[in-house]
């Protein structure tokens, strides 16, 4: 089984674009949910993200990771690769 990565985005969000750029650079396959204007989808994301409603919201193996800054922080402390290679 492989690692499942999901990212909720807003089309013109610079943080969303930056987070996807890091995942793309690392060759990570992910499912993107572009929720522009879809408030029902945003509420679903908020529930999954333990109340966080900012974008992006990133999930690895159904665990909420947080947003762009958290993703880059995990990369900076060499923990992101571990999360991306751990299967559900």
Q: Please give the pLDDT value at position 68.
A: 98
Q: Where are the domains of the chain?
A: 5-85
Token representation of residue 65: 């990771």
Q: How far is CA 76 from CA 17, 22, 42, 47, 72, in A?
A: 18, 12, 28, 28, 6
pLDDT of residue 88: 58
Supply the CATH classification number for the domain 5-85. 3.40.30.10
Task: Grade residue 86 by pLDDT with cuts at 50, 70 and 90.
Answer: confident
76 torsion bin: left (phi>0), alpha (psi -120 to 50), beta (else): alpha
Model confidence pLDDT, tens digit, residues 5-64: 999 999 999 999 999 999 999 999 999 999 998 999 999 999 999 999 999 999 999 999
Check pLDDT > 80 for residue 1.
no
């Amino acid at each position: 089984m492989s690692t499942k990565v999901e990212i909720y985005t807003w089309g013109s969000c610079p943080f969303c674009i930056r987070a996807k750029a890091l995942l793309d650079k690392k060759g990570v396959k992910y499912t993107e949910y572009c929720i522009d204007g879809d408030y029902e989808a945003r509420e679903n994301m908020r529930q999954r993200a333990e109340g966080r409603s900012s974008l992006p919201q990133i999930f690895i193996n159904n665990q909420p990771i947080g947003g762009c800054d958290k993703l880059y922080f995990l990369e900076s402390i060499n923990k992101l690769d571990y999360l991306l290679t751990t299967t559900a």
